[in-house]
Chain A
Amino acid sequence: MEKKFLPAFSLGLNMAVGMAVFSFLGIWADRKWGGENGWFTLAGIFLGLLYGGYEVWKIIKLNNDLDDQKKQ
């Protein structure tokens, strides 16, 4: 298997677990500090989405760098 495809292999579950972890942290924070409107949960979900996007960006950047190295 080509090395550049490896990180994409684990992307799906990493994104899902990332969203779940951040969401649970948000739910925990809401219970602890009493955010009545669920702001911490919403922030957690947003951070989870951000993490997923960040992982995708890293894979694209890695693949671009590898392609550039090949061209040179």
Chain B
Amino acid sequence: MKEFNLEEYIMHHVLNSQEWRLPFLPVIQLPEFLSLHGLMLLICAAILITLFCVLYNHKRDVPTGLTNLLESFVVFIRDEIAVSCLGKEDGRRMTPLFCTFFFFILSLNLMGLVPIFSTATANINVTAGLAFITLNFMIFGAIYKNGLRGFLSALTPSGVPVPILILLVPIEILGLFIKASALTIRLFANMLAGHIVIFALLGLIVVLGAVALPAIGMAVFIYLLEVLVAFLQAYIFTLLSAMFIGQMYHPHH
């Protein structure tokens, strides 16, 4: 019998690959241009399009059921995240972006908890792509809104002597990239860590035998915690994106 390798077992479940394993079915080999996490992104996009274009009921004046649930999230994002960080006018204009961020990340996170799917947000390339959108709004969105002069004035803190500005302005410019990197790492690390813990606990049963059966209870606990983390990380990513974009759009408020 082949010796059980715990590290290989964990990494096989959390890393990207070219094959999709479904229960009771032969392994599906994915084409070269599409990895497993890429496929998850497409499935997630399809789910969201179905949710908002097909199942969402536009016709009724008073929303009920699923429409009500989705609307409560949208209103929360508009009022508590977009408008509170960007002001009424910009906030309402930017709400579609933040709704997209929130629902896309939330769906990817929750899909990672369903056994037949994989967690695309535990891939640093996916989170970096999302943070890159925020970075573009922080730089080019701010230039579009305030002009180049306004953008540069956002990078110079008020009430600081000129010699210190020589040091602070480069740090402030690098700070833009640091903030985007922090966004990337925050989502990626949180999603990856939770899944590694679950698989490590389940792997203990194979390594230690029946003695480690309580690990199942622990794994279920971490799994439930992951449901909370899925919502929390989607919220935090959206909130921090809104805050960083708001800081660049309205620098002296």
Q: How far is the CB of B243 from chain A (nearest CB, A)?
A: 5
Interface residues of A, count at CB 8 A: 19
Q: How far is the CB of A6 from chain B (nearest CB, A)?
A: 5
B139 at the interface (CB under 8 A from A): no
Q: How far is the CB of B185 from chain A (nearest CB, A)?
A: 6
Contact of A47 among B85, B171, B185 (CB under 8 A): B171
Q: Helix, strand, loop or mixed for chain A's interface?
A: helix
A-side contacts of B186, CB under 8 Å? 13
- CB-nearest residue of chain A relative to B178? A18
B239 at the interface (CB under 8 A from A): yes
A70 at the interface (CB under 8 A from B): no
* A28 CA / B167 CA spacing, docked (Å): 20
- CB-nearest residue of chain A relative to B252? A65
* A10 CA / B182 CA spacing, docked (Å): 8
Contact mask for chain A residues 31-72; partner B; CB cutoff 8 A; 1 contact, 0 none: 000000000000000010011001100100100000000000
Within 8 A of A (CB), among B177-192: 177-179, 181-182, 185-186
* A55 CA / B176 CA spacing, docked (Å): 12
Q: Helix, strand, loop or mixed for chain B's interface?
A: helix
| Structural contact, B185 and A51, CB atoms closer than 8 A | no
B217 at the interface (CB under 8 A from A): no
* A66 CA / B168 CA spacing, docked (Å): 23
B-side contacts of A7, CB under 8 Å? 243, 247
With A10-B179, A17-B182, A21-B177 as known contacts, state yes or no: A51 contacts B171, CB within 8 Å: yes
B114 at the interface (CB under 8 A from A): no
| Structural contact, A13 and B182, CB atoms closer than 8 A | yes
B-side contacts of A16, CB under 8 Å? 182
* A7 CA / B236 CA spacing, docked (Å): 12
Q: How far is the CB of A16 from chain B (nearest CB, A)?
A: 8
**Interface residues in chain B, defined as those with a beta carbon under 8 Å from any beta carbon in chain A:** 84-85, 157, 167-168, 171, 174-175, 177-179, 181-182, 185-186, 236, 239-240, 243, 247
**Interface residues in chain A, defined as those with a beta carbon under 8 Å from any beta carbon in chain B:** 3, 6-7, 9-10, 13-14, 16-18, 21-22, 47, 50-51, 54-55, 58, 61
A-B pairs, 5 with minimum CB distance: A17-B182, A13-B182, A18-B178, A14-B182, A17-B181
